């Protein structure tokens, strides 16, 4: 019997069963508590792309903040209260009319949790991780972002400890919007670089 | 490790679909898996992040590709809990009611023979080449850039060197560099004339290039 | 194509077990799958062997790794039968009573730009280097030897060039060479001091090396 | 929903159903017949490692044949009646006391069908294909073949059209055996190079 056949014929515990078994074994052994788990589950809910969107909106409206963000994004984000695990060294990547930035982690699924949130499924998919470094223009087009061939794409591979966030271009016709309204135009996808900031709704 | 996890440039995958209004977790077990990953590292201090990443890399390639991200998270975490002796497989499988798929073992000689670089050797603008090393253990230089030349565009602070940290080797910190590679240098058939890939690479992965 | 099929050197797989007295086929469907593969190429002349191999390479990586060899055989064969218009997916899925998993599409520009070599350029004893091409279509130079130097130890007859044959390109034949690579040149951390890998490579995959 | 999730949630036809559907669709369309399929299924049963074993036994006992085999294995095998698909260009690899040969096809699962038979599951497994080129000594040891470090291993990658067969070392104490008895010592595994020829039974 081949190894694959063997792997497929033994009865496996479901993922739900495995998670519960691990949790209960560790709690029964006194190694962790329910409260520990709740704490981290709550942290995960606090890391959200709305945080990064607020950073972007401030950078669009406050030239001094923008300068600080581009110089030292870790401090600039911390200034706004966004810091913590996977946010120890953040670098902000500013799009320009002729340069578009996009982020990937080909080797696992690293992201700047405090400003981008835990990554979405598409970011963690083997397909995105495999393809966007090699054929970014095609991948972005498939995902709905058609870039002119004049725009150079920079794909940032998050293989070490730097965590990135994209500062997308500020959309046209947003001169009169408040910082809060501007933040609403910036999706998680825009912070990763697979979408642009949304145009203002009328 | 030249494992399945090192996906950059691998072909044959299909479309990537964005789920509208995706929740942080789709199922309660994913939340628990995430919390277990954090608690075992931060509260229990069972293992470090580099060991954890490498444990996921050691999963069987078919299991790795097929399963949900939070199943990889659980599998890496539990493999280390067993390897470190915090839990027993027998007890876990009895509780789970079936086989508990785990990561494969660490290689015998996981670390490449790299010289620690306590001081930054490179500066912005330098041309560098990534060494063509291929250790069987943890390494954070993606395969697609090894042997290739690029330009340093940023020097980051010192960070723990993952290759040794993942394997109980000498604890050391080194600067990393954002090295920009022309896409057409990485993949001969790329049609990405002006595009580039930037990889964040530790000092000792690099050598000076002319 | 830098696909999952190009497995040489990939790490993370487990033990290899030999089944004692293994039969030619374990299940009747495997025999039929094999016979269908042969009959569609030899009787129907639906497609050639290079197209067939590439169709298997185009399977989704997880499906490829997980399934039995004769499921790969069937999947490659049927994908081509549909692409060539011999059968319809709708009819097949109705007959099969469910989704029929198929290979992904051929890349837009599958062929590398290689110069045909009608005459043998190399002789036994020559040092050669494998080009660092990475076409998105069929290629029979394994990734692990690209960019590496080896020695020609045998010159074989001319054979159809698979990269063009698989994609309806110019039909041409070229000599292949048995090129010997030192294992330690292919994988820096190999402990195989005297071991070597011999790869059978077409003339136009190679360039002279000093 | 991610692509993987999507792939896993649609109901799939079983492999048996898919094989039958394909066969019946082609037969109903008049493109192939049951007789065609029977013909190829029977060919598969005729390609067997016993063929290669007989070639090896003759090479061990007939120096002229051995010379012809090493010079042109395709003709030498055809002489014994072994020819056909995947046997168009065969090269015989002779083991010596300080050199061991082993065969693999890393990119699919090519083999010299007429002399080795259709390959066994282990030969087709991703594990063998991935590992034996990189760590042959370890793989052979795991498979039960412990080679001295003095013996150099040559791994032959069957990526083009050459098909290989290994001529293993003739075991000690077989001087008096007939060609047929010698052939019985040569397994499929020995013809591929993951085993030695068996010693004679008493």
D173 φ/ψ angles, rounded to the nearest 5 degrees: 70, 30
Mean pLDDT of C19-44: 96
Quick check: pTM over 0.90?
yes
Q: Model confidence over D132-142: pLDDT tens digits?
A: 999 999 999 99
pLDDT of amino acid C69: 97
Count, residues in chain A: 202
Residue A69's SS3 state is helix
- Looking at residue D8, its pLDDT comes to 53
What is the mean pLDDT of the segment spanning D41-49?
A: 94
A159: confidence class by pLDDT, cuts 50, 70, 90 = confident
CB-side exposure of D31: number of CA atoms within 13 Å? 19
Q: Would you state the pLDDT for residue C17?
A: 87
Question: What is the rounded CA–CA span in Å between residue D164 and residue C18?
Answer: 20
Across the interface, whether the CB atoms of D2 and A121 are under 8 A apart is answered yes
Pairing of strands C173-182, C196-202: antiparallel
Is B60 an interface residue toward C (CB < 8 Å)? yes
What pLDDT is recorded for position D3? 45
**Nearest chain C Cα distance for residue D199, angstroms:** 18
Decide if A4 and C17 are in contact by the 8 Å CB cutoff.
Answer: no
- The contacts of residue D27 (CB under 8 Å, 6+ apart) are D33, D34
Give the confidence band of A3 by pLDDT, cuts at 50, 70, 90: very low
* D3-18 tens-digit pLDDT: 444 435 669 999 999 9
D148: three-class secondary structure by DSSP: coil
Average pLDDT, chain A: 94
Neighbours of A41 (CB within 10 A): 18
Q: Is the pLDDT of residue B107 over 80?
A: yes
Whose tokens are 């010997």? That residue is C180
- Helix crossing, B89-96 with B69-83: angle to 10°? 140
Q: How far is B14 from chain D (nearest CA, A)?
A: 8
For residue C126, what are the contacts with CB-CB under 8 A and spacing of at least 6? C151, C152, C208
CB pairs under 8 A between A and B: 242
Interface residue D102 vs chain C (CB under 8 A):
no
CB contact under 8 A, A2 and D122: yes
Cα D146 to Cα D129: distance, rounded to the nearest angstrom: 19
pLDDT in tens, D60-115: 999 999 999 999 999 999 999 999 999 999 999 999 999 999 999 999 999 999 99
Number of cross-chain residue pairs from A and C with Cβ atoms under 8 Å apart: 17
* Residue in A with minimal Cα distance to B140: A159
Cα A94 from Cα A99, distance rounded (Å): 9
Q: Six-digit token pair at D132?
A: 């034996």
Quote the mean pLDDT of chain B.
95
d(Cα D12, Cα C93) in Å, to the nearest integer?
A: 9
So what's the pLDDT on residue A105? Answer: 97
Give the number of other Cβ atoms within 10 Å of residue C171's Cβ.
Answer: 10
Instruction: Say yes or no to pLDDT of B188 above 90.
Output: no
ipTM of the modeled complex: 0.94
pLDDT by residue (tens digit) across A112-151? 999 999 999 999 999 999 999 999 999 999 999 999 999 9
Catalogue all structural domains in chain C, each as residue range(s) with its CATH number: 1-102 (1.10.472.20), 127-208 (2.30.30.50)
Q: Which residue has the tokens 């690899």?
A: D93
pLDDT for residue B194: 87
- The alpha-carbon gap from D173 to the nearest alpha carbon of chain C, in Å, equals 25
pLDDT tens digit sequence for B58-90 = 999 999 999 999 999 999 999 999 999 999 999
Give me the half-sphere count of Cα atoms (radius 13 Å) on the Cβ side of residue B173.
5
Residues whose CB falls within 8 Å of the CB of residue D18, separated by 6 or more in sequence, listed in order: C74, C78, C92, C96, C100
Q: Tell me if A3 and C66 make a contact (CB, 8 A cut-off).
A: no
Cross-chain Cβ contact D127/A5 below 8 Å: no
Residue A7 has pLDDT above 50, yes or no: no
Reported in sequence order, the residue ranges of A20-140 that DSSP labels E, i.e. its strands, are 90-94, 99-104
Q: Which domains does chain D have, with CATH numbers?
A: 3-45 (no CATH), 48-192 (3.90.330.10)
**Cβ pair C11:B136 closer than 8 A:** yes
The verdict on A181 touching B (C-beta cutoff 8 Å) is: no
Mean pLDDT of B19-26: 94
In the predicted structure, residue C36 carries a pLDDT above the cut 60: yes
Question: Mind spelling out the 3-state secondary structure of chain C?
Answer: CCCCCCCCCCCCCCCCCCCCCCCCCCCHHHHHHHHHHHHHHHCCCCCCHHHHHHHHHCCCHHHHHHCCHHHHHHHHHHHHHHHCCCCCHHHHHHHHCCECCCCCCCCCCCCCCCCCCCCCCCCCCCEEEECCCCCCCCCCCCHHHCCCEEEEEEEEEEEECHHHHCCCCCCCEEEEEEEEEEHHHHCCCCCCCCCEEEEEEEHHHEEECC
Beta bridge partners of B130: B206
> Could you give the angle at the alpha carbon of B194 between the alpha carbons of B190 and B198, nearest 5°?
85
* B61: chain D residues, CB-CB within 8 Å: 126
Give the residue numbers of D marked as catalytic: 105, 108-110
- How close does chain B come to D132, measured CA to CA in Å? 14
pLDDT digit string, tens, across residues C148-166 = 999 999 999 999 999 999 9
The answer to whether the CB of D194 falls within 8 A of the CB of D182 is: no
pLDDT band, residue A8 (cuts 50/70/90): low
Which of B176, B193, B174 is closest to B185 using CA atoms? Answer: B193
Q: Which residues of A are catalytic, by number?
A: 105, 108-110
Q: CA–CA separation, D190 vs D140, rounded Å? A: 11
pLDDT tens sequence across C161-196: 999 999 998 889 999 999 999 999 999 876 677 899
């Amino acid at each position: 019997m081949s190894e694959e056949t063997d792997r497929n014929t033994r009865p496996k515990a479901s993922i739900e069963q495995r998670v519960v078994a691990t949790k209960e074994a560790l709690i029964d052994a006194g190694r962790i508590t329910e409260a520990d788990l709740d704490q981290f589950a709550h942290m995960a809910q606090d890391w959200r792309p709305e945080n990064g969107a607020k950073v972007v909106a401030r950078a669009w409206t406050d030239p001094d903040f923008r300068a600080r963000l581009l110089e030292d994004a870790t401090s600039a984000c911390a200034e706004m209260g966004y810091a913590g695990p996977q946010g120890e060294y953040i670098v902000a990547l500013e799009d320009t009319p002729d340069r578009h930035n996009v982020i990937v982690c080909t080797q696992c699924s690293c992201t700047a949790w405090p400003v981008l949130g835990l990554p979405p499924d598409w970011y963690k998919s083997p397909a995105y991780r495999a393809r966007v470094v090699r054929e970014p223009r095609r991948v972005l087009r498939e995902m709905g972002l058609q870039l002119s061939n004049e725009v150079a794409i920079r794909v940032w591979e998050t293989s070490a400890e730097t965590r990135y966030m994209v500062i997308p271009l500020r959309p046209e016709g947003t001169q009169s919007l408040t910082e809060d309204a501007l933040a609403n135009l910036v999706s998680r996808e825009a912070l990763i670089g697979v979408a642009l900031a949304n145009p203002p709704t009328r | 490790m030249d494992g399945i996890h090192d996906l950059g440039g691998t072909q044959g995958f299909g479309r990537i679909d964005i789920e509208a209004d995706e929740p942080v977790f789709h199922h309660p077990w994913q939340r628990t898996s995430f919390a277990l990953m954090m608690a075992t590292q931060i509260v229990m201090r069972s293992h470090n992040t580099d060991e954890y990443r490498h444990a996921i890399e050691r999963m069987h390639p078919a299991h790795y590709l097929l399963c949900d991200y939070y199943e990889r998270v659980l599998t890496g975490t539990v493999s280390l809990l067993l390897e470190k002796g915090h839990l027993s497989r027998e007890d876990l499988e009895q509780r789970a009611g079936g086989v508990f798929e785990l990561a494969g073992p660490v290689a015998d000689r996981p670390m490449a023979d790299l010289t620690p670089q306590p001081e930054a050797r490179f500066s912005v603008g330098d041309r560098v080449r990534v060494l063509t090393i291929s250790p069987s253990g943890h390494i954070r230089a993606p395969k697609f850039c090894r042997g290739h030349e690029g330009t340093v565009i940023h020097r980051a602070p010192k960070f723990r060197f993952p290759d040794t940290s993942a394997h109980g080797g000498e604890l050391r910190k080194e600067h990393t560099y954002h090295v920009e590679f022309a896409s057409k240098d990485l993949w001969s058939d790329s049609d990405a004339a002006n595009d580039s890939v930037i990889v964040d690479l530790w000092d000792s992965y690099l050598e000076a290039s002319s």
